[in-house]
Structure 1
């Protein structure tokens, strides 16, 4: 895997330090079109190949049209940080409520909503109860979650699992199938030293979980911390993720969706595409552009421009996954 190189405006660098291209464009070019945070980018995944389009373009409209009758459509929200208090966002409850309103105004009822971690900021019982009650207001059939490191403060995730862990295995991992897609939800925030960590028990779960699947089954994997080396200096990586990635190599189409980094980023590695999501709470700096990943204060009128949600559509038979990023503004 390659590491993030901030010297090239977000491009990944190979072992020589040269920036690599993503989807036929450098990261600089992609940023010029879409913006780092919350830009409306549609990505179509067909037979393992990811093609990016600008939202509103004819190609993007064609990709969105794939999510028609009989399609699977779901939403990813992330990093609501209910309980956060600070100048980066003085009303995280209000911004999360706005995200929920946006989910309910998409023009379709999502089959499910996935919250990819850091539901709370301090993992208190009151914060978990508040975010659970808020998510109950989303017009969807099901709500799924994975924990972030902020959901595990002081108790190794026990309070999180009491609220959201029903029917899960181990420390909260699980899988499910719908519309011909196999979904895996992983927990990589409980054994943190510097990087995310999955552990032997969870890796064995993935091995057994995918063993009976056909190699043409589309896979979507959720985690909080990225499963690729986005920026290990800040802990934006998972130390044993390669063991899981090796188990997924035989599948023709794999999409990994994560939170944690509070900003959009996409990386394709063979048949596997990684998408980091933005946040509903507050932005974090671009890797290498600050001493540490601390909450960033932006002008109040611009805050919703850097917050957002992600909607995903999949049409059975066409085997296409269309991903659209939407700002809260």
Structure 2
């Protein structure tokens, strides 16, 4: 399936353009790195990604543990199915990056259930919060107590692994219904300082819940000050930006930056502009698992392929 790039120029895009660029099936996309710039070169399967022998991690997103409405009465069950696929992988990933909305209502038992199932994967997890993880009475206190050790502010942090610099950003604090995400001056200043000592050749992976680019302003699918973060990242030769929130695949390469939003493990959402508002979308039961899934990312040092494999629960 051909992928068309988003062309929002920071202003959001029209319904037709967004619908053309969205990807609705769980397939794999192979990205080749030439001169530090990723280029899409075709579709691959999970085994092909593993054969690259590179450093592999997973992206999972939007588990919404506690959700039990008609769109998916058993979000915990579909998460278990996703983790079963992780356990069955021929090469275990180094870790899982979760791009937010671990829970649906920030309740202790929802976090407990999520921790239990994710713990079965047997690999380390790195989290950033979604807005559904920040709606407890402490406005994120429950999330930070569990996952915020060593982080700054509302939970942002960075770490290095296999020569790649990973940055977890938080853009869901004080999020208004239908409003764009926001990073804030404090976090942007921290990001600038965090990147200051990194050479231009350092591969960068940024992960946050809401897309940093504005994908669809009318539904709040973007980050108001995301362009400021992208400006700080522009000097690096290879930047990969991972997000969740929209519960559907959207992929784009713009210059030295590769953007990838992940499927949810809980429920799908409608295509931008195809419904009065975003939210859980009811689909026939036999189609649900084809719209839920997880992503494998393989990074190989040097001029070698960088692979994204988006796998659905139906596959």
TM-score normalised according to structure 2 size: 0.91
Gaps of 5+ in 1: 12-26
Contact map agreement 1:66 1:320 (CA 8 A) in 2: no
Matches within 5 A, 1:96-245: 96-140=79-123, 142-154=124-136, 155-193=138-176, 194-245=179-230
Deviations 1:9-55 (A, max 9, x none): 624xxxxxxxxxxxxxxx3xxx6xxx514233333444123314122
Gaps of 5+ in 2: 1-8
Contact map agreement 1:37 1:307 (CA 8 A) in 2: no
Say yes or no: does 1:51 pair with 2:31. no
Deviations 1:131-174 (A, max 9, x none): 1121111132x111110000001432111111111121111111
Say yes or no: does 1:6 pair with 2:28. no
Name 2:76's counterpart in structure 1: 93
- Shift of the 160–181 alpha-carbon distance from structure 1 to 2, 3 Å rule, reads same
List structure 1 runs of 4+ shifted beyond 6 angstroms.
none
Number of residue-to-residue matches in the alignment: 301
Greater shift, 235-244 or 46-55, is seen at 46-55
Matches within 5 A, 1:11-50: 11=20, 27=21, 36-46=24-34, 47-50=36-39
Q: Pick from 19, 38, 58 the counterpart of residue 75 of structure 1.
A: 58
- Shift of the 116–277 alpha-carbon distance from structure 1 to 2, 3 Å rule, reads same
Taking the aligned partners of 2:215 and 2:18, their CA distance within structure 1 comes to 13
Q: CA deviation at 1:129?
A: 1.3
Contact map agreement 2:38 2:306 (CA 8 A) in 1: no
Taking the aligned partners of 1:90 and 1:208, their CA distance within structure 2 comes to 44
Name 1:303's counterpart in structure 2: 288
Greater shift, 1-10 or 304-313, is seen at 1-10
TM-score normalised according to structure 1 size: 0.87
Taking the aligned partners of 1:257 and 1:320, their CA distance within structure 2 comes to 18
Taking the aligned partners of 2:14 and 2:289, their CA distance within structure 1 comes to 27
Deviations 1:261-297 (A, max 9, x none): 0000012222112111111000000001000002111
Name 1:264's counterpart in structure 2: 249
Taking the aligned partners of 2:213 and 2:243, their CA distance within structure 1 comes to 10
Taking the aligned partners of 2:263 and 2:26, their CA distance within structure 1 comes to 6
Contact map agreement 1:4 1:10 (CA 8 A) in 2: no
Q: Pick from 299, 302, 305 the counterpart of residue 314 of structure 1.
A: 299
